[in-house]
Amino acid sequence: MQGKITVKDEQFEKDLKNFAKLAVRMGAVDAKIIDAKKVIVQDWVRLKCQYGCGNYGKSLTCPPYSPTPHQMRRVLDSYSRGILMRLPDEWMTTHDMVAKLERHVFLAGYYSALGLPAGPCKRCEECNLKHCTFPRVARASMEASGIDVYATARNNGFRIEVMKNRKQKPTYYGLLLVK
């Protein structure tokens, strides 16, 4: 029967709430459960990486090595939910937090959990572009995969503004996809 909520669905929603609370305990400023269909992917976002970011082609987590917007749309189609997190202002913390939360959700039985942090990976002074030294924590960023972080955050009730100068602190977001 369509539309019937099963015990499995109820447990999934309960688990998602607990994972969102865990994200906050781990240091996220806020975390919300979202519908994966509300993640906005635009082709132009990846072009902003290519024409505007000095990391293009210098990291395995950045274009042209990261998933294309077309690939990301297909990936998103295989997920039902996600946890969108507003993260602290420190870049490295965002990557670590997303990877730690992904690992926790994976170990809880959601083996398809996939985390996407904000911004390029900067773990290595220079990426060797052949074999990642930190495969357990390195992930393609949302932007590198074509995700419009501004539209996605706004569509899900977060406030995000364009930085107008280098003195302003950026607002970082992370996304954990869960089937």
At 1, the pLDDT band (50, 70, 90 cuts) reads: very low
Q: pTM here?
A: 0.90
Q: Which amino acid is at 173?
A: Y
Please report the pLDDT score of residue 94 as a whole number: 81
Please report the pLDDT score of residue 7 as a whole number: 67
Owner of token pair 């189609």: 77
Whether 136 has a pLDDT exceeding 90, the answer reads no
**C-beta of residue 94 within 8 angstroms of C-beta of residue 87:** yes
**C-beta of residue 101 within 8 angstroms of C-beta of residue 178:** no
Please report the pLDDT score of residue 169 as a whole number: 83
Please report the pLDDT score of residue 163 as a whole number: 85
4, with CB counted inside 10 A (0-12, 13-18, 19+), is exposed
